[in-house]
Chains A and B, each alone.
Chain A
């Protein structure tokens, strides 16, 4: 139990998927202008990431490895991820039309969010068992959501600040992302205790 909690904490904070592994930067910069949409995006990605890591574990251990066709891993994983994203899109459209409109184009783009594929591949590389991979995906997604919300909050404040014209908008956003990444490096100290 303790081990699982540690894994969750480590993936969410210490090895944060966005700020330490630098995966999934497209929605990180793209959907982080408003707190609401950032939170919605985080939730949707959490759903997809958890389902996709579970599905890709099953695919790897029940289909690809027994048949000896591991070289098709990326192709098969992308197939499963695309299907899960489509399903999520339908579910969100049914459950919350307003969130569906807010997320817009970024919802289908979760398919190409490299964090989703990257985590599924990392799971195989690190030879995680089923529950471990599920927690690995879920913890990373929690970290992703946390960072999205933090960054959206920072950008909302930055929008009100006086920024020199050359640095306004995306450049200031990139510097902010760098500073946030530096701050998250502090969590590396947790690993030593």
Chain B
């Protein structure tokens, strides 16, 4: 009994130690810039940029082979942040920023086919076969995959609805009315 416990513990501990040493010795030095860029991205791996997931996009950004405006769910804010991080000028002319969006299922035409539910990278759509689906707004990154998957065009991207909890005072200058008055 004692021999079994002690020997297996010793075996496990020595193997763990060996693996720890090996992990130090064989560590792969990734690009630290790419890791930082990846942390800034939405992380939903939606693939709209054409790269295999956010890690691939971050690598391309770090190499300078992709524009900072590559991420549609990130929008203008992410492009500005990425440009600041990389120390380059962002060309924002091609970016259409409609403000934060969120997916919505139009319940009168949803047929409950579960296709949107299967493609959602953040599990933001709840539903079951032949039941109307619904979107968890907190989890949705507005990547638009569900819009493409829907056979009845029941899913669409809408601006985040303003509620008492999500409304905030607009920044001075960002409001077109106040800038027009100041001018």
Contact = CB atoms under 8 A, between A and B. Distances in A.
Please classify the interface of chain A as helix (H, G, I), strand (E, B), loop, or mixed, using the class held by over half of its residues: helix
Contacts of A175: none
Interface in B19-73: 19, 22-23, 26-28
A69 B1 CA distance: 9
Contact of A63 (B11, B16, B22, B26): B11
A75 B8 contact: yes
B159 to A, nearest CB: 38
A91 B18 CA distance: 13
Given A93-B26, A94-B26, A97-B28, A87 B7 contact: no
Interface string A55-97: 0000100010001110010011001100100110011011001
B8 A72 contact: yes
Nearest to A75: B8
B151 interface: no
A51 B8 CA distance: 19
Q: Quick one: which of B3, B11, B19, B23 has the most chain A CB within 10 A?
A: B11
A68 B27 CA distance: 39
A90 B7 CA distance: 26
B23 to A, nearest CB: 6
B23 A90 contact: yes
Contacts of A94: 26-28
Nearest to B29: A94
Interface string B102-128: 000000000000000000000000000
Interface of B: 3-4, 7-8, 11-12, 15-16, 18-19, 22-23, 26-28
24 contacts: A59-B11, A63-B11, A67-B4, A67-B7, A68-B3, A69-B3, A72-B8, A75-B8, A76-B8, A76-B11, A79-B8, A79-B12, A79-B15, A80-B11, A83-B16, A83-B18, A86-B19, A87-B18, A87-B22, A90-B26, A91-B26, A93-B26, A94-B26, A97-B28
Interface of A: 59, 63, 67-69, 72, 75-76, 79-80, 83, 86-87, 90-91, 93-94, 97
